[in-house]
Amino acid sequence: MKKIMLLLVVCCLGISLVKAQDGPSFVTSPMSFKKSLPLKLLSENTDKSAISKKPQTVPNNFKTTEPVNPNALPLGLDPALQTEGGRINTREPIQNFAGVGSNGGIFPPDPSGAVGPNHYVQMVNRQYLITDKEGNTLVPPTSLNALFTIGNGDPIVLYDRFADRWLLSEFRVDRDAQNRPIINTIKIAISETPDPTGSYFIYEYQFDSFPDYFKIGIWHDGYYFTANKRQGDAVFVINRDMLLIGDPSAQLIGFDVPSIGTSNQSIFAPGPINAMGPELPPASAPGMITYFQDDNFAGIEEDHLKIWEIDVDWNQTGNSTISAPIELPTEPFDTFFAAFGEGDIEQPNTSSRIDAVWGALMYQVQYRQFSDHNSIVLNHTVDVDDTLLGGIRWYELRQNEVGSPWSIFQQGTFSPDDQSRFMGSIAIDGDGAIGLAYSVSGSSVFPSLRYTGRFEGDPLGQMTVAEQTIIDGTRSQNGATRFGDYSQLTIDPTDDLTFWFTGEYFAGGLWRTRVASFKINEEFTNDVGVAELITPQNGNLSATETISVTLRNYGTSDQTGIPVSYSINGGTPITEVFTGTISGGDDATFTFTAPADFSGAGADFDLELSTGLVTDEAPFNDAITPVVRNLFSDDVGVLRIVGPRNDDDLNQENIQVILTNNGSDPQTAFNISYRINGGSVTTQSFPGTLNSEETAPFTFSVAGDFSNEGPYDLEVFTALASDQDSSNDSQTKRIIHQDCIPTSTGTNDNNGCAADGLKNFELGTIKNISGCNNDGPGVGYADFTFISTDLDRSISTYDVTARSGFAPEALSLWIDFNDNGVFEVSEQLLSDETITQANVDQVFALTIPTDAAIGVHTLRVKAIDPDGTGTDINDPCGNVQWGETEDYTVNIVDQTLGLGDFAITADQFRVIPLGNKTYEVVLDLAFELNEELTLDIHNIAGQRIASQKIEYKNGAYATQLNLNTATGVYLAIVGNTQINTSKKFVVR
């Protein structure tokens, strides 16, 4: 909103000011320079088959770390937590079309994208795509090797609006036979003209170590970028002016970053500040990088942000400096999840989790100048309650003018329910509204994409815009934990208001990406709505409550005589008129004279509050629908079980929970109990006072026994004698004690593997020749879950081919059909088979149960020397003296099944608008059916107006549909002559 605000400093500057400056660590020029052909020609001359390769993971330099401070804050819930979503409605995404999809098993995708005046350019690992702003393809998905010749990953694309040019980049790392990096470079391509489909100047810069997870920002005197480098320098500046004119000697300056972090940080990659808006920062503004520090890092006493300032002198590069960090203390946060590669974020119907990349600032850190202040917005992922529930901690920093101190103007942690938000990207538009887009996943939501936002002037620390869905995922990701590793939100330069986002979601057994645009500020002429409910709030409510609301003029024209209505639980609306005047962009308070009935303890009231301006051009934001609760007087319960977590070394463990007072009266000295597997009850008394609608952490003084391997069902419950609502008193949690990464302990040749173990394993399309592996804590274990095959349970019997370098060798195999992370006796399909000859392939018959669960599961195969010491070959988790265990992924299908064998859910059958009356029709199934499917389109009168086959490809049935002569309501029907499924959609 365009209104002047009093600068409220939520958190003051820390005592650490700029006390020292360091000079550059090195200055260099490109190791190579060339000019490319136009990208349109590169696409036409590229062998598309080169894109698809066998499954592989893009390398990174992330570090497995553990928290070091058991008393690190917060103890319990994140103190900046926003537990309910915003209520201000906005329209659905303006554009919403498919980005590049899974390219032959490369993961993660690392989606990056930027919008220009007429184009959208997207990059994922190994590919780029160029479309117009309606999603029409101008350059199809093309291998990045067509542009860069050799590259590995971490693509970044930027539109430099100040120069009207495009920047495309990726790193290259080449390794020797011992897997040591010998070439470490970053490749930068700058478009020769404003046309992204044209030619590019291509620069390649050499570094002394792997420039992992590099990120780039635009500034007046250079392109600033940072990298996750553990050897010396980690921030660099390239001469922007020289790059833009294609000067082959364009210089790069590198700096060591003073006080960047500590030994147990997972990622050493601060975020470069990126300039947004119509004008470059003034020449007096230093370049900046920023980072966060958790008090769980070694040597860190309190959670804070750091800012470093960089002054570059391109005439005398030796005079360039980087400052000591400025520290800004934050509200406490917990950034630790699991170790990298183990997975953090929950998914439906599987024990597999995906990485939150919790140690990094998410891309980008955005800077914008306003008439009375400068702002920086940034975000990172946090664990909001120590249960691996991901939330997004976001900040807006402000300074009054260039050179004045920065402070934290507002901060919040967005986590409105029990599903995780993570992999965020944040930006601020020309009116000061903030947009935040991100991934969502949890127990009931497949990895999906959504966004929220806030208007300038809204309550500080709150995302006030109702969460909108970009696209819902339909599958969980199994066989790999890497996800993201980032996303990107940019602002349309044509209006400085439209946000454009790209990110990853999961559907049809493959990762996919999406491109979507949305607005917070619409700037219609006539546009008024209800923005907030002021009274009543939750509590002991009566039959004569006064309703008071905030009205907002979202438009540019002053408004008066505005009808305002309320209704309760869908009842008859009460309408009154606001007789004052609200200027464009301003708020006003309106109080109804008619009282409202909210009586009845324990009742929830669905309240609809709306405006009825006759000339309103944007009815989608007229109304909000808050829920008002008449609280019981006495009502306490268990909000969440925090610990213990599933772990490899559970023993006597603390039982940790979060308690909540759902009533209106304070409570003290109430009992709380737990029991394990229905056993004896342990009871204690809550020692403090829990006020109305407050939460508090609680740890039992008596530990629970989880020392034996297997599943445990933990139940925790409260017992307040006067409690009036027992429905929220208890919570249960399944905890699995599993020590299931077997290793080889022998000390002879090959570090314990000797000649034993699997030298070749084949099943279906899996054909994996391997040697001695050490992916686990010791040798003798290999994680090959990124290699997968389909197994048809209707075929039942498959050949397993196994080879060992030693004989006799014992062999066993399991498939975790119930996905609980435990290889149970009922899931063992090969038991103590014998490989009788060394270095010879031997075939065994594998029978898949006819009732095996459809979907993706982990397969474990184990081969050991039966004469060695160690546990039984039929123990999937036990260590051995000589041998090896390998994990793979299998997808159980059933080709006898047809469409009639499935209950198709709404999120599996989608009709997605692509623009210009073109639609993508998608039916997500885990595998191809044994029948042809047809797509029929019927109008509202029942007449069939189109019919075409819908084909199975890339993990789903999908086709595109053009209805350029149609308008109105239509019915899409997918099926055959016997069975079908349908969905209504509207063509506008």
Query: Is residue 549 within 8 Å of 526, Cβ to Cβ?
Result: no
- What tokens does 18 get? 């700029």
List C-alpha distances in Å: 413 to 118, 294, 382.
35, 15, 8
DSSP characters for 69-93?
-TTPSPSSS-TTEE-S---B--PPP
Rounded Cα–Cα distance for residues 788 and 767 (Å): 10
- Identify the pLDDT of residue 747: 44
Rounded Cα–Cα distance for residues 319 and 315 (Å): 9
DSSP 652: E
Class of domain 528-630: mainly beta
Q: What is the pLDDT of residues 771-784, one digit of tens each?
A: 655 443 457 888 78
**CATH tag for 636-737 (out of 2.60.40.1220, 1.10.760.10, 1.10.3720.10, 2.60.40.10):** 2.60.40.10
Query: Is residue 317 within 8 Å of 277, Cβ to Cβ?
Result: no
Rounded Cα–Cα distance for residues 416 and 71 (Å): 26
- What tokens does 769 get? 């020749």
How many Cβ atoms sit within 10 Å of the Cβ of residue 12?
11
**CATH tag for 26-518 (out of 2.130.10, 3.40.1800, 2.60.120, 1.10.3470):** 2.130.10
Rounded Cα–Cα distance for residues 308 and 98 (Å): 38
| Statement: the pTM of the whole predicted model exceeds 0.75 | yes
DSSP characters for 634-650?
S-EEEEEEEEPPPBSS-
Rounded Cα–Cα distance for residues 582 and 562 (Å): 10
Rg over alpha carbons for the chain, rounded to the nearest Å, is: 30
- Extents of the domains making up the chain: 26-518, 528-630, 636-737, 758-893, 909-987
- What tokens does 938 get? 């019927």
Alpha carbon 758 to chain centroid, angstroms: 36
**Stretches in the chain below the pLDDT threshold 70:** 1-20, 44-55, 103-105, 177-180, 230-232, 262-263, 647-648, 746-754, 771-778, 897-907, 915, 925-928, 930, 940-941, 953-955, 977-979, 988
Amino acid in position 539: G
Partners of 860 in beta bridges = 814, 887
Query: Is residue 235 within 8 Å of 252, Cβ to Cβ?
Result: no
Closest CA to 470 of 433, 435, 426, 502: 502
**CATH tag for 909-987 (out of 2.60.40.3080, 3.90.1280.10, 3.40.50.300, 3.40.50.920):** 2.60.40.3080
Q: Which residue shows structure tokens 């260039």?
A: 402
Shared fold status for 636-737 and 909-987: yes
Contacts of 680 (CB under 8 A, 6+ apart): none
Class of domain 758-893: mainly beta
- Identify the pLDDT of residue 322: 96
Rounded Cα–Cα distance for residues 767 and 841 (Å): 12
> What is the helix (H) or strand (E) element at residue 884, kind and residue range?
strand 883-893
Rounded Cα–Cα distance for residues 183 and 632 (Å): 67
Q: How far apart are the first and last CA of the chain?
A: 30
Count of alpha carbons within 13 angstroms of residue 452, beta-carbon side: 26
Would residue 118 be called left, alpha or beta, if left means φ above 0 and alpha means ψ between -120 and 50 degrees?
alpha
List C-alpha distances in Å: 769 to 664, 752, 834.
65, 19, 19
Rounded Cα–Cα distance for residues 920 and 904 (Å): 18
